[in-house]
Amino acid sequence: MTAANPVPAFRPHRGPDVGIGWRHPHYAALLEQRPRLDFIEVHSENFFAPGGAALAVLREGRALYPVSLHGVGLSLGSACGVDAWHLDQLARLVEAIDPVRVSDHASFARGALDTNPGSGLVHGADLLPIPFTREALDVLCANVQQVQERLRRPIAVENLSAYLRWRDADLTEPEFLTELTRRTGCQLLVDVNNIFVNALNARLWGGNTDPLDACRAWLDAIPADRVAEIHLAGHIHCGDIVIDDHGSRVCPEVWSLYRHAIGRFGAVPTLIEWDTDVPPLAVLLDEAARARSAAQRAPHTPVASTGPLATGAAPGRPCQNHTAAPSMELSP
């Protein structure tokens, strides 16, 4: 696939930069149509193979739009540290693509199986929640700092939608993420849908706060100047639990929370995510237009630089021996 015109397809405009997740079903359509978008996002791990068709397509997309690299496998919260091979591949991709942002999640996936100590480390291939404890914060800070020093730029760390929780917690999630930014100089990727999903699921543990009130309080509690990007997506109700499936349009409640978010953070870059039951490209573009319209009158608030890591960023404390894991409780 070859773009007919190398001139970038994005155009300056008032309001926030708005983009979409660029997934395989839309590779050809986006390159051919070159719709009005300010950036596109791809999952970093899909382009780790050196050379080949995937990387060639990404380079074509990069010729038309700024690219945001969003990871799902760094396992920033793992006490065993960041996988060296994974970080090597990400660094090589960052060098090749020069992304506008690099992000991953406040989660873990790597660890040793106690039932088979000699088997080495395993990767759970999922985004598992970390406890909001001081010990877990030390681990996350150390891993984020390692990644930033290797990439020579701040990364954005995303809040997670979680369907189980740890019994032990020293901090609330906003306090935890705020301290992460203070100690490492990293940015935050605020997923508004994740906040809403967690607020809905809080009733599983006896929560009785109005979900929208809880979400607005969450948004008001984090440092506005550290928010680098906002994610919007759909979710699905599955009986007693709500799942963040990225498989539908953004619901009215999340649009309401988005307006609250941009009213506080300013016109920060906003992404429409859609990863399951992917519809025609026109549907994602319609959602992007809705985001642009909702945010168009928001005051602009400068966000943290995505350039080289500031020398004043406080390093995370190194990992210690983490032998006592906090207990976890499943959703009933």
pLDDT in tens, 84-118: 999 999 999 999 999 999 999 998 775 566 655 55
Res. 12 pLDDT band, cuts 50 70 90: very low
**Cβ neighbours, 10 Å, residue 24:** 11
Spell out the residues 6+ positions from residue 218 whose beta carbon is closer than 8 angstroms to its own.
173, 174, 195, 199
Contact 331, 197 (CB under 8 A): no
The residue-averaged pLDDT of 285-295 equals: 93
Give me the pLDDT at residue 119, please: 55
- Could you tell me if residue 7 is inside a domain? no
Tracing tokens 């090589």 back to the chain, one arrives at: 92
Spatial CA neighbour of 226 closest among 164, 172, 268, 274: 268
Has residue 50 got a pLDDT over 90? no
Has residue 311 got a pLDDT over 80? no
Mean residue pLDDT of the chain comes to 83
Q: What length does the chain have?
A: 332
Give me the pLDDT at residue 310, please: 37
- Could you tell me if residue 183 is inside a domain? yes
pTM: 0.83
- Could you tell me if residue 151 is inside a domain? yes
Least confident of 71-85, 110-124, 174-188, 289-303: 110-124
Contact 36, 30 (CB under 8 A): no
Classify residue 248 by burial, with Cβ atoms within 10 Å: 0-12, 13-18, 19+: middle
Spatial CA neighbour of 190 closest among 251, 231, 235, 233: 231
Has residue 328 got a pLDDT over 50? no
**pLDDT tens digit string along 113-168?**
665 555 566 554 557 889 999 999 999 999 999 999 999 999 999 999 877 776 77
Backbone phi and psi for residue 19, each to the nearest 5 degrees, phi listed first: -140, 180
- Could you tell me if residue 69 is inside a domain? yes
CA distance 156 to 228: 7
Which phi-psi region, left, alpha or beta, contains residue 128 (left: φ > 0; alpha: ψ -120 to 50)?
Answer: beta
**pLDDT tens digit string along 234-263?**
888 888 888 878 878 999 999 999 999 999
Res. 314 pLDDT band, cuts 50 70 90: very low
CA distance 50 to 93: 9
Classify residue 308 by burial, with Cβ atoms within 10 Å: 0-12, 13-18, 19+: exposed
The residue-averaged pLDDT of 58-84 equals: 93
- Both tokens of residue 42? 């791809």
Has residue 278 got a pLDDT over 50? yes
Has residue 286 got a pLDDT over 50? yes
- Structural domain span for residue 143: 18-112+124-304
- Could you tell me if residue 88 is inside a domain? yes
Between 179 and 323, the higher pLDDT residue: 179
> What's 156's domain CATH number?
3.20.20.150
**Cβ neighbours, 10 Å, residue 279:** 15
Least confident of 97-111, 271-285, 297-311: 297-311
Contact 105, 140 (CB under 8 A): no
CA distance 172 to 212: 17
Most trustworthy range by pLDDT among 73-77, 117-121, 203-207:
73-77
Give me the pLDDT at residue 14, please: 58
Give me the pLDDT at residue 8, please: 45
Contact 255, 294 (CB under 8 A): yes
- In single-letter form, the type of residue at position 145 comes to Q
Give me the pLDDT at residue 159, please: 96
- In single-letter form, the type of residue at position 236 comes to I
Give me the pLDDT at residue 115, please: 58
The residue-averaged pLDDT of 298-325 equals: 36
- Could you tell me if residue 4 is inside a domain? no
- In single-letter form, the type of residue at position 149 comes to E
Give me the pLDDT at residue 287, please: 97
Spell out the residues 6+ positions from residue 81 whose beta carbon is closer than 8 angstroms to its own.
142, 143, 146, 319
- Could you tell me if residue 313 is inside a domain? no
- Both tokens of residue 110? 């790597």
Instruction: Return the DSSP state at 26.
Output: G
Has residue 179 got a pLDDT over 90? yes
CA distance 76 to 141: 9
In Å, how far from its chain's centre is CA 77?
14
Q: Structural domain tally of the chain?
A: 1
- Could you tell me if residue 2 is inside a domain? no
Name beta bridge partners: 164.
330
